[in-house]
Amino acid sequence: MTKRPTSAEKGIVRRQLFLLAIFSALATTLLASTYPSGRPVDEVVSLSFAASYGWLLSQSLGLALILFLGALFLTFVNKKWGSVSGSFVILCLPYLFLADLLTFAWIGERFLSSTMAHIFKSLLPALSLHVTPFAAFQACLTLTAMMVMSWLFIRASRYIARLWESRKESIGVLSAFSLSAFLMVLLSIQPFMNWETLRDEMYRASNRHPLCAFHFVGFRGVGVAVSKESVPLQSSLRALDTYEAVREREIAMLDIALDTTIEKSPLVNASDINVILVVVECLRPEVISPELMPNLHAFSQKGISLRQHFSGGNSTCLGMFSFINGLESIWFHRQVAEKPILNRILSQAGYQLAFYGGQTDWRIYEMDGFVHEQHYDDFMIEDPDLPKTDLNAVMRTLDFLERPTEHLSRDSFEGDRKSSVVESKNIGEHRAAICYLYGTHSSFRYSDEKYRIFTPEADEGLLISNAPELKEQFYNRYKNSLRSMDDTLKPLLRDDCVVIVMGDHGEPFLDDGTASHGTRLSRYQNMSPAVVYYPGVQPRVIDAPTFHADLLPTLFSILGLSLSRSDVLDGIDLTNLNNRDLENRVFASGNFMDPSVLLVGPWTTSEGKPFGYRVVHDIFRWQTAYLNPIDELGYEIEDETGQGQRFFSQWFQTRFGRPFKKEIDEAEVLRQAIESSAAEERMAALEVVSSIQNPNDEIIRNIEKLTKDENQEIRLRAKEVMIDISRSRSWSALFD
């Protein structure tokens, strides 16, 4: 027979939970006061020095008391397990807040958000590859210290709770709770007297405020949230309505070929010209300068310098895809990624192709469709051992271009690092090589102490912080790695070759409120410089927006190559265009974290206009919608002119050859998708139906037809959807 807890034992448990709530509130306040560096009063200037700290304590105390009430309820259900689970819930407060502080400094999003859910679900294995041993050690040390502190809190609170319970003249838990609540209210008086101003200040600088971390108060963000998992019905149906246009363009991409019937004069002597395509990690637009990259800067003065240039997206996978295919990154998950256009056309033109790089994570980031040995005559990638692997990539590129032998000799380059090698085929007169250089990726390494020019610099393994002084140190280390990289790639800057140098994306360094690329659409992540050179080029600067997809048609034009369908590419030939020709076009640059893209156009370089417009047109999970305008930091701004939807429609019509419909017949779109001859469209329709809470009888009849579909995957999915609908109706009938 289970022994019932005595009133004294119950009192001890309740007192311990209350003490843990106070400990959690104090720990959360301490974190909020010290991280990030600086003073809270400098961010909430509407409050006095003391009131700014008091406001942090009030927020922490309010959250802790709410958790205490929840834990108290659990003890009424079951004392033992209620005590354990209640203690855990209360002690989660500082842990979650610390996680939010670090997350917000990293990606500008809250820890408790759909973005982080997506990271944990899909991206964590890939991102973990970039964690240095020292950073991992720091994280483990911090976590261990917090767990030890939690254990000490539990032991101390238990001891104090026993003393508190034993003294009959002491106040009860209810009185202690009331006093704490009164203190919280007292500390909130001045903040609430200035609430309108204070709320705006918290909105702009929300990282240290617990109420913002847990979504009780809004914070400055990118705008409308976009999920890869949960897609709004209207957005899905609009996307499905475009399926025919999408598929038509995709077929044209897969069929594109070199057209030898059209004679086009090359801009160079294409009979013996070689092509060097250099991709450098994390290049910011301002780095091609005499101070940071003198060799590349001097080379850019001899060619076409693209100073308002955008990558295909804010990550390597999107940037590389856009450059290799001449397409916007919205096509990244489509079939064309398995048949890269650059490789197809150059191979048909008689070029031998090579790829060399000091990184092997192409499969992890879904780039192995277009960065793979099957597409190249010579291919070698290595795990990063910087700067050695970058130097290897450069030397292999030069060896590939210059050696007249039938097989390339790489004996002098073989090391003990993991590599993937394909023996080259016979080398023809035409050669093109992609050289991917990784040294300017964090941890920003350089080859020699002579490059340690900018100081103070951050240690290689230091965890990224949003402290202003550490921002400068990280940027200094980045600049030192740029000086090293500039000398590394110098041998590739040849006057006798077509040379295109580009960054794969930018790097924010907290300029847009984030510490890493691939986290939001902004100037600092999506913009990256590019230089185009070929013998005989007239040096010039293009200040109108350009992007990676322009580089492929530009290369084809330089080499005098004509395509069977030139209208398929999203990019345009830059060799004969000027700023005026480029002013009015609209293109998209993608986001790694979600399917949103940045619409870039004439407004991007216009003062007082939005930097860009966030939209989503996901042709993989099928959703499309206009979202909101943003500034150059990626933050949502007011759409004062209401032009965003019009620009989205303009871009849509340009890309898919049909107007964007303001109104659609949802039932008809769904019916057509379910009855489509394309298996992909039928499967997409099933996913849409699975999100409808109460599908009508007509929809159910159509789904029943799909349970007998010729495609096994569709049949199984249709049966799952029918089972879910049946369960949902059963529950509804039960409650009715």
Q: Are the C-beta atoms of 3 and 79 separated by less than 8 Å?
A: no
Structure tokens that stand for 210 in this block:
């617990």
Query: What is residue 413's predicted lDDT score, i.e. its pLDDT?
Result: 39
For the chain, the residue count is 736
3-state secondary structure of 629: strand
Give one DSSP letter per residue of 660-709, joined into a string: PPSS--HHHHHHHHHT-S-HHHHHHHHHHHHT-SS--HHHHHHHHHHTT-
User: What are the E-state strand segments in 504-656?
Assistant: 530-533, 540-542, 546-547, 587-590, 596-600, 612-618, 623-630
**Residue 685, amino acid:** A
Residues 479, 736: Cα–Cα separation, whole Å? 67
The phi-psi region of residue 3 (left if phi > 0; otherwise alpha if psi is between -120 and 50; otherwise beta) is beta
Give the up-direction half-sphere exposure of residue 106: CA atoms within 13 A in the CB hemisphere: 16
- pTM across the whole model: 0.87
Tokens of 327: 């397409």
**Low-confidence spans in the chain with pLDDT less than 50:** 1, 405, 407-427, 463
Vertex 322, ends 318 and 328: CA angle to 5°? Answer: 90
452: its two tokens? 């340690």
pLDDT of residue 276: 98
Count of CB atoms within 10 A of residue 464's CB?
19
Question: Judging by beta carbons within 10 Å of its beta carbon (0-12, 13-18, 19+), is residue 1 exposed, middle or buried?
Answer: exposed
Q: How far apart are CA 10 and CA 21, in angstroms?
A: 17
Specify the DSSP element, H or E, that contains 382.
strand 378-382
Contacts 24+ apart (CB under 8 A), 334-338: 334/250, 334/253, 334/619, 334/620, 335/250, 335/254, 336/250, 336/253, 336/254, 337/366, 337/369, 337/370, 338/369, 338/370
Element (H, E) at 593: none
Nearest to 276 by CA among 505, 492, 496: 492
* Partners of 583 in the β-ladder: none
Q: Are 211 and 217 in contact (CB under 8 A)?
A: yes
Cα three-residue angle 409-411-416, rounded to 5 degrees: 140
| Residue pair 342/554 in contact by the 8 Å Cβ criterion | no
Tokens of 329: 């990154």
The β-bridge partners of 597 are 590, 615
Q: Are 31 and 75 contacting, i.e. CB atoms less than 8 angstroms apart?
A: no
DSSP assignment of 60-117 equals HHHHHHHHHHHHHHHHHH-HHHHHHHHHHHHHHHHHHHHHHHHHHHHHSS-SSSHHHH
